[in-house]
A and B are shown apart, each in its own frame.
Chain A
Amino acid sequence: MSDNRYMVFGFQGSGKTTYAAALWHLLDSREIPTVLVKGKHIGEFHYLDEIAQSWCEGWRVERTKSDQMEDVQINLLHPKSATELVLEFTDLPGEKFENAFSTRLCTPALVDLVKDASGLLLFVSAERKIDGVTILDALGPMVKADEAADAPLASATTSGREVGPAPDVGSATILPPAASEEPPWNPDDTPLQVRLVDLLQAMQAVPFGKMPFKVAVIVSAWDLTDEPSAEVWLGKRYPLLDQYLRNGQGATDVRIYGVSAQGGQLSKKGQRPGPDRERLLALNRASERIEIVGRDVLEHDLTCPLLWLSGLDSRA
């Protein structure tokens, strides 16, 4: 028996819980062949069963208790090598990670989780809006020449507030700096990729002191993208994270997967059904709702990233 404890890392809405729900159904139902199969049914499965139920019924899977860490443990078997392994991960609410970035504090439990992890499943969602757009990207150079220098160069700011008459100084006009109207930095407005890289780097430092490990990036809601591969998508949408994973010292090896764990657009239970619900419910084998793309994967097999993280693929 080889113990592999993988940490699931991602912010709110990144698809962690949906992945866990779909994985549980895939393994437990045995509807389609997978590279890792379910091992012995020993353990506590309330949480998994609850979220898998919601997944099966065609509703958007949501965490029920947002302030708790849900321990997920699944016994797995790699039939090719007859190796048993335990997939253990803690489904942390995304807020735990987001708070760690903004407060620079984390719980001892999170520290232990990182220390014990032998690999990382890093979740980012294709559904999330782009948040690192600069003003110049969006609006272009709109400021007049005499407003350009970092010292205010105009007689009025963009808010219209007069800051005094502008002396004629030739082609440029310079005033003393006006009283600051700069809004303070809000950590929550920091682009997601910057926050993710910062926390991944923090894992290498005190108090975590994590040695580099394998990282499997899961791009969730893959059905919403039109990129040819998850690698291309990550390079375009999260270039800083992509560069860090390829060049940085935090990961020994990286693979990037595109995953649609729910198979389409669904809505929360109790709301009007999502546009893809009927189509997905009509499938005879619910596991076929799952789509995964990436290196060495089977079409619906969510265990492929886990197999790669475990290293069993190269030993088989």
Chain B
Amino acid sequence: MPLCSLDGCLVATTGKCHLNNDPLESCPNYGRTNIEGEEEIPVKSSTDTAAPIEICSGDAMQLDDLVVLVRGRSVRTVALVGEQRAGKTTLLASIYAMYCKGEFGGYGFAGSRTLVGFAKRHHLALLNSGRTDPTTPRTSRDDPVAFFHLALARRRNDAIELIISDRSGEAYEAARLDTELIGNLPELKIADRICFLLDGAKLASNELRPAYARQFKQLIHALHDNGALAQTDHVEVLATKFDVTAAPGGTEDQVRYLDFFESQIVAEFKEHGLAITCHRVCALPKTNEQIGFHGLEDTIKRWTAIEPLPTVAPVAIHDAPRQIDRLLARTSGGVA
């Protein structure tokens, strides 16, 4: 857009009048275009007219974003698996909230590529939301699997990169009822740890408990029998909403039943060759002040625990023809 009707005047780019008028407004040609009748368009400053540039979203990642992030990095990936309202998103949001208050579980916050995603999941627990009871936004069944990133460090430049997946419980429910759909759960293939969230509130309900307990185990069986747990190093059951289980108005039976159910799970799946550990958490203590935030710190410690290094010693060769191999076999305890 020319600022001056005089041919050859570069005032629009140089800011200097070709006829050396100062101030520019004193030039009769300044502010006029050389096309008669053309409607004048208000001139904007360069910062207004330049196209804005997009910055990273900070939102939860999808699988493609995750592939880029983990390239060349060592990450720990945890898949949260559970049916609707089991507390997957609440657990995520609470872990984020803990680091907003300070160091937690022996780690300090060192960064997150998904801070906006965390903030979106936690905003209904903030006082400025206008609510009086904290909650977590429900994950839509239409949303694809989302991955959240946390870098946690004991000291500078020594961070553990934690990836936690979250998706709507309906997808897991559907996969339990139609195992063909298990292939649509890519988070299970890349997870180092699969965490089945056991809804403590449903388990505390006399009406819902029988069916829910059966369906919960059915989901683990479905994934195990179809090889979806084969790639993972750890499988755990995390009983959520422990404040409801141990609510002051509740009964000892609720906690006893949870004890029983956990031991039943461990034994049942051990028979099927699957080692499962059981843990408890209260990520949003709404009912029992004494319980408070329970089990979150242990969860972080478990998820970030140092993994034993893989064995790289050469395997002993029986009746090795070379002397060096026989020697190696002896020193490594093998039989030559």
A interface, CB within 8 angstroms of B:
68-69, 100, 103-109, 111, 131-145, 147-151, 153, 157-158, 167-174, 177, 180, 182-183, 185-187, 189-191, 193-194, 197-198, 201-202, 205-208, 235, 239-240, 243-244, 246-250
Across-interface contacts of A169 in B (CB, < 8 A): 205-208
Across-interface contacts of B113 in A (CB, < 8 A): 201
* CB<8 Å pairs between A and B, sample of 16: A104-B58, A106-B52, A132-B126, A141-B289, A145-B247, A148-B201, A148-B243, A150-B241, A157-B133, A170-B204, A170-B206, A183-B130, A186-B123, A244-B111, A248-B151, A250-B111
Given contacts A148-B243, A247-B109, contact A239 B100 (CB under 8 A): yes
Docked-complex contact A249 and B111, CB < 8 angstroms: yes
A-contact bits for B154-176, CB 8 A (1 contact / 0 none): 01110100000000000000000
Docked-complex contact B56 and A202, CB < 8 angstroms: yes
Which residues of chain B (197-241) have a CB below 8 Å from chain A?
A: 199, 201-202, 204-208, 241
B interface, CB within 8 angstroms of A:
45-47, 50-58, 84-85, 87, 90, 97, 99-103, 108-113, 115-116, 118-120, 123-138, 151, 153, 155-157, 159, 199, 201-202, 204-208, 241, 243-244, 247-251, 254, 284-289
Across-interface contacts of B56 in A (CB, < 8 A): 104, 201-202, 205-206
- Which of these, A111, A194, A208, contacts B115 with CB under 8 Å? A194
> Bound complex: CA of A76 vs CA of B119, how far in Å?
42
The 4 lowest CB-CB distance pairs between A and B, nearest first, are A170-B206, A149-B201, A169-B207, A247-B110
Across-interface contacts of B47 in A (CB, < 8 A): 69, 107-109
Docked-complex contact B108 and A246, CB < 8 angstroms: yes
Given contacts A132-B126, A133-B127, A174-B202, contact A194 B119 (CB under 8 A): yes
Tell which of A133, A194, A243 has the most Cβ of chain B within 10 Å. Answer: A243
> Bound complex: CA of A68 vs CA of B53, how far in Å?
18
Docked-complex contact A244 and B132, CB < 8 angstroms: no
- Which of these, A107, A140, A150, A201, contacts B87 with CB under 8 Å? A150
- In the complex, the chain B residue whose C-beta lies closest to that of A240 is B100
> Bound complex: CA of A116 vs CA of B67, how far in Å?
30
> Bound complex: CA of A100 vs CA of B97, how far in Å?
23
Docked-complex contact A104 and B127, CB < 8 angstroms: no
- Which of these, A147, A173, A197, A243, contacts B286 with CB under 8 Å? A147
Q: How far is the CB of B174 from chain A (nearest CB, A)?
A: 17
Docked-complex contact A189 and B110, CB < 8 angstroms: no
- Which of these, A141, A182, A239, A249, contacts B124 with CB under 8 Å? A182
- In the complex, the chain B residue whose C-beta lies closest to that of A108 is B50
Docked-complex contact B99 and A240, CB < 8 angstroms: yes
> Bound complex: CA of A147 vs CA of B126, how far in Å?
18
> Bound complex: CA of A158 vs CA of B286, how far in Å?
13
Docked-complex contact A142 and B132, CB < 8 angstroms: yes
Docked-complex contact A141 and B287, CB < 8 angstroms: yes
> Bound complex: CA of A134 vs CA of B119, how far in Å?
12
Tell which of B115, B124, B202, B244 has the most Cβ of chain A within 10 Å. Answer: B115
Across-interface contacts of A183 in B (CB, < 8 A): 124, 129-130
- How many A-B residue contacts, CB cutoff 8 Å? 233
Across-interface contacts of B153 in A (CB, < 8 A): 247
Across-interface contacts of B251 in A (CB, < 8 A): 171
- Which of these, B125, B128, B287, contacts A143 with CB under 8 Å? B287
Given contacts A151-B85, A182-B124, contact A105 B52 (CB under 8 A): yes
Tell which of B111, B151, B208, B248 has the most Cβ of chain A within 10 Å. Answer: B111
> Bound complex: CA of A132 vs CA of B128, how far in Å?
8
Docked-complex contact B116 and A198, CB < 8 angstroms: yes
- Which of these, B55, B128, B132, B206, contacts A139 with CB under 8 Å? B132
Docked-complex contact B286 and A171, CB < 8 angstroms: no
Docked-complex contact A105 and B110, CB < 8 angstroms: no
Docked-complex contact B133 and A135, CB < 8 angstroms: yes
> Bound complex: CA of A136 vs CA of B129, how far in Å?
12
Across-interface contacts of B97 in A (CB, < 8 A): 134
Docked-complex contact B126 and A133, CB < 8 angstroms: yes
Docked-complex contact A150 and B128, CB < 8 angstroms: no
Given contacts A132-B100, A133-B126, contact A148 B244 (CB under 8 A): yes
> Bound complex: CA of A230 vs CA of B238, how far in Å?
40
- Which of these, A105, A141, A158, A168, contacts B285 with CB under 8 Å? A141
> Bound complex: CA of A243 vs CA of B111, how far in Å?
9
Taking A133-B128, A240-B99 as given, write out 5 further A-B residue pairs in contact, using a Cβ cutoff of 8 Å, ordered by the A residue number.
A135-B129, A145-B287, A180-B138, A190-B123, A239-B100
Given contacts A104-B57, A105-B54, A207-B53, contact A131 B130 (CB under 8 A): no
Across-interface contacts of A174 in B (CB, < 8 A): 201-202, 205, 207-208
Q: How far is the CB of B284 from chain A (nearest CB, A)?
A: 8
Across-interface contacts of A135 in B (CB, < 8 A): 125-127, 129, 131-134
- In the complex, the chain B residue whose C-beta lies closest to that of A144 is B287
- In the complex, the chain B residue whose C-beta lies closest to that of A238 is B100
- Which of these, A106, A141, A189, contacts B53 with CB under 8 Å? A106
Docked-complex contact A239 and B101, CB < 8 angstroms: yes
Docked-complex contact A243 and B289, CB < 8 angstroms: no
Docked-complex contact B205 and A185, CB < 8 angstroms: no
Docked-complex contact A134 and B109, CB < 8 angstroms: no
- In the complex, the chain A residue whose C-beta lies closest to that of B89 is A150
Q: How far is the CB of A295 from chain B (nearest CB, A)?
A: 17
Docked-complex contact B133 and A147, CB < 8 angstroms: yes
Across-interface contacts of A105 in B (CB, < 8 A): 52-55
Tell which of A171, A206, A208 has the most Cβ of chain B within 10 Å. Answer: A171
